[in-house]
Amino acid sequence: MRYLRTTVAAVALGAAVGMAPPPAQAIDPGRIQNADKNPNDWLTYHGSYKSWHYSALDQINTTNVKNLKVAWIHSPGRATRGLQSFPLVADGVLYYTGSYSRVFALDAATGEMLWSYIPQLNEDLIAAQTHTPYTRGIALGHGHVYVGTMDGRLIAIDMKTGKPVWETKLVDSEKLTVGFTGAPLVVKDKVIIGAQGGEWPWRGPIFGVDGATGQKKWEFFTAGGTPEAQKTWGNESWRTGGGGGWMPGTYNAEKNLVYWGTANPAPLYDWAGAKWQTEGPRPGENLYTSSVIGLDPDTGQLKTYFQTLPHDAWDFDDAVGEFVQLEKNGQKYVVHPNKGGYVYVFDQDLKFKNAWPLADNINFIKGVDNNGKLIGRRDLPEGKSTDLCPAINGGISWNSGTYNPQTGLYYKVGNEWCMDLEVVKTTPVTEPMVQLNIGANFTIKDPPGGKAYGHVDARDPLTGQTAWRIDFPEPPLASLLSTGGNLLFVPDARGVLHAYDARTGAELWSHNNGLGHNGGIISYNAKGKQYVTVAVGWGSLVGEGYGALFGEPYKSMPMDQGYLVTYTLP
């Protein structure tokens, strides 16, 4: 593996247009730490370290949302697999990335472009990748915009000029095939980013990089990252164990812990069946895959962890990077959804407190006991299995829900679908270039007795008690937003952006954006007005299967277009 750090010169194209950006203030660690106290901005992927995906702004509210209109639209171009990214806002400037790590800075009030940064990428490599070419987000800090690339680099861009400052090669993507698609996270002086992994026979590192210089400071392997962990992989299978942490986690300053979710092990499906402790391609519990981990941001040392799915045999990983930090009755909690359809509740040290099912159709386990142990796991031996629920797409997907402190409710999408599969003994492809290792053929299907569908639930985040719920004919695949105006915004799969009363679920407004939603949504203040910005564009790996499962409008929905749409009141 090669680790190269180079100073960027002519390898990237930066273009500034005539208008000077508004004056920007420094985005230092203290400002990010207090992001939840300044709703004018949206400084990090999850809104703040609390990860509420909530804006306290209330200029747009339940009484006037019916008047919401489009303010401006921006197209990033080259929107292969749509627009899956998450915009950020600081000091009246909106920053976002499209596919191929194309980064833009826009006047947040008008959409006028301030600068663009179009990196030169290894296009031959990208053509060989499966989970590509989307880029799901960026990070701000230390005067930079940070973006990962699918060819394994982390790049710092001057947030005022759009010029590249440094780039660091972190992953030998030319050999390992995978790179970065998730957003980085700025914590103190570090930029933290997780590599793609999962079904790829590698070890899914999470990296800590000096935000000022680009120097790599640490690397944590999610597959066999400690001597203790390597003992949980028979036959040294950690060497091709998968893992990864492909979506950003968050930070707890009180504990000095970075929370991160890790991906599934490889191969996805394991022919050992119930004998997984001693047989099969990866005997053992496979630490730290399908886990939530707490890392020291200064050193990358593992401080705590909880493995939700020991020896994950279903691709129900924890790389959903959502860690909602909240306090109730004097106790502090971390709420984390798992792809299997359960929502886990931990204390700040990731000690298990509770798990409740969000999805209706779950039969890969019968439940989770009071200690977080799986009850009645359904391991899959070589050969056919039918009606496994949820399907590989997950009872929960990677986009985020939202917690609203005014209602005390957590809003989250649940997915209802199942699949038949035939587990096959496979051998990983590791030379000359690594390939994904699935280990099965499968068919996604309707749940027993009904059609596949989705729902948005308003739940007590700690107990899962349902306040209200809205069903959708297909699972929405975008992030949700709630606001201080008691609004819940749901961008759906067909392309309609809905606004609901967050207290009751009553629909108050909708607008058809013409393409499915598969990315982020935020709210911010620019020049005294509140705006809502949503990513529009269809084509994620899950969304690609909607045509076969649901028919139109997905069969004919373009998967090479995308744009940002921003709304405000007249």
For the annotated catalytic residues, the residue numbers are 315
- Report the residue from 298, 544, 553, 569 that binds another protein according to the rule CB under 8 A: 544
Q: Which is nearer to another protein, 376 or 432 (CB)?
A: 432
Nearest of 262, 270, 263 to residue 302 by alpha carbon: 262
CB of 174 to another protein, least distance (A): 9
Q: Where are the beta strands (DSSP E) in 124-215?
A: 139-141, 144-148, 153-158, 164-169, 185-187, 190-194, 205-210
Sole window of 22-30, 438-446, 473-481, 516-524 interacting with another protein (rule: CB under 8 A):
438-446
Verify binding: residue 556, another protein, rule CB under 8 A.
Answer: no
For the window 160-189, what string marks contact with another protein as x by the rule CB under 8 A?
A: -----------------x------------
* Rounded-to-integer distance, Cα 474 and Cα 260, Å: 29
Q: Six-digit token pair at 500?
A: 């609901």
Phi, psi of 429, rounded to the nearest 5 degrees: -90, 115
- What CA–CA distance (Å, rounded) separates 136 from 480? 15
Q: Is the dihedral of CA 103, 133, 121, 223 positive or negative?
A: positive
**CB nearer to another protein: pick between 177 and 533:** 177
3-class DSSP state of 99: helix
Of 231, 275, 425, 451, the one binding another protein (CB under 8 A) is: 425
Q: How many residues bind another protein (CB under 8 A)?
A: 43
Among 24, 424, 467, 569, binds another protein (CB under 8 A): 424
394 binds another protein (CB under 8 A): no
Q: Which of 429, 448, 451, 527 binds another protein (CB under 8 A)?
A: 429
Decide: residue 375, CB within 10 A, 0-12 exposed, 13-18 middle, 19+ buried.
Answer: exposed
Q: Does 435 engage in binding with another protein (CB under 8 A)?
A: yes
Among 7, 331, 441, 465, binds another protein (CB under 8 A): 441
Site string for another protein, 60-99 (x = CB under 8 A): --------------------xx------------------
Among 38-46, 446-454, 524-532, 542-550, the segment contacting another protein (CB under 8 A): 542-550
Question: Which of 298, 422, 446, 460 touches another protein by CB under 8 A?
Answer: 422
Of residues 288 through 307, those in contact with another protein by CB under 8 A are: none
397 scored as a contact of another protein (CB under 8 A): no
Residue 511, judged by CB atoms within 10 A of its CB (0-12, 13-18, 19+), counts as middle
* The pair of three-digit structure tokens given for residue 9, joined into one six-digit string: 């010169």
Closest approach, Cβ 267 to another protein, in A, equals: 8
Among candidates 173, 155, 191, which has minimal Cα distance to 6? 155
Options 18, 227, 432, 528; binder of another protein; rule CB under 8 A:
432
CA distance 167 to 421: 42
How far separated are the first and last CA of the chain, in Å rounded?
A: 55
Residues 102-131 that bind another protein (CB under 8 A): 124, 127-130
380 forms part of the interface with another protein (CB under 8 A)? no
The pair of structure tokens assigned to 294 is 């707490």
- Residues numbered 217-276 forming contacts with another protein, rule: CB under 8 A: 267
Name the E strands within 230-366. 250-252, 257-261, 291-295, 302-307, 324-328, 331-337, 342-346, 352-357
Q: In the complex with another protein, which residue's Cβ is closer, 411 or 442?
A: 442
Q: How many CB atoms sit inside 10 A of residue 13's CB?
A: 13
Residue spans of beta strands (DSSP E) within 262-341:
291-295, 302-307, 324-328, 331-337
Confirm or reject binding of residue 433 to another protein (CB under 8 A): yes
Among 427, 463, 465, 512, binds another protein (CB under 8 A): 427
Return residues touching another protein (CB under 8 A): 80-81, 124, 127-130, 132-133, 177, 199, 267, 420, 422, 424-444, 539, 541, 544-545, 547-548, 559-560
